[in-house]
Structure 1
Amino acid sequence: MPNPSIKDEDTYQALRDDGASKEKAARIANARANDDMHPSEKGGKAPPYEDWTKDELYERAQEIGIEGRSDMTKDALIKALRNH
């Protein structure tokens, strides 16, 4: 049975088949189903993660609940945030 919170089930399934997390696949599928959103376009004006301090990266990882963040290096935090 399709999930009623997913607006574009085909896109969602394709993303899941490609290895995207449920959350990420749902976010992209729903954005693509919304004519006002353009998920393939560049996002906001925030600087790239490489310009953030390790403390800033850690804080962001904490906000979104990345496990194991306290043992991660700056590069590992960047990778975890990008793959979330």
Structure 2
Amino acid sequence: MAKDHGPTVKDDKLYEDLLRDGASKGKAARIANAKAAGTLDHRSSELEDRSKADLLKEAREIGVAGRSKMDKAALVKAIRMG
């Protein structure tokens, strides 16, 4: 059974699984909360297959600084670093 991570994490099991897979605490919380809220968008699990507009939107949601000046490859790298 997953440990309760408090009110800031809505899906404790997914959060723990993501941490175990190497995601940062912030990224794991964002993904777990988005899944719990039903807003997790999986149009493509491969970032390289997504449009630059989709990557910019995701980068904005996770707070990537300097995203407007990045090309697609830089956006993919920044999103992966979370």
Q: TM-score range by the shorter chain?
A: 0.5 to 0.7
How many residue pairs match? The answer is: 65
Match of 1:24 among 23, 27, 32: 27
* Structure having greater relative contact order (Cα 8 Å, sep ≥ 6): 2
Match of 2:5 among 2, 17, 22: 2
SS at match of 1:7: coil
SS at match of 2:22: coil
Matches within 5 A, 1:17-56: 17-34=20-37, 37-42=38-43, 48-49=51-52
Over residues 9-34 of structure 1, what are the superposed CA-to-partner deviations in whole Å (9 max), with x where a residue is unaligned? 11100011111111111111111212
Match of 1:54 in 2: none
Identity of aligned residues (%): 33
5+ long unaligned stretches in structure 1: 52-56
Q: Which amino acid aligns with 1:39?
A: L
Q: State the Cα RMSD in Å.
A: 3.4
TM-score, scaled to structure 1: 0.51
Match of 1:15 among 12, 15, 18: 18
Over residues 27-84 of structure 1, what are the superposed CA-to-partner deviations in whole Å (9 max), with x where a residue is unaligned? 11111212xx2414328xxx723x8xxxxx8xx79xx355xx7xxx957623432212
Name the larger-Rg structure. Answer: 1
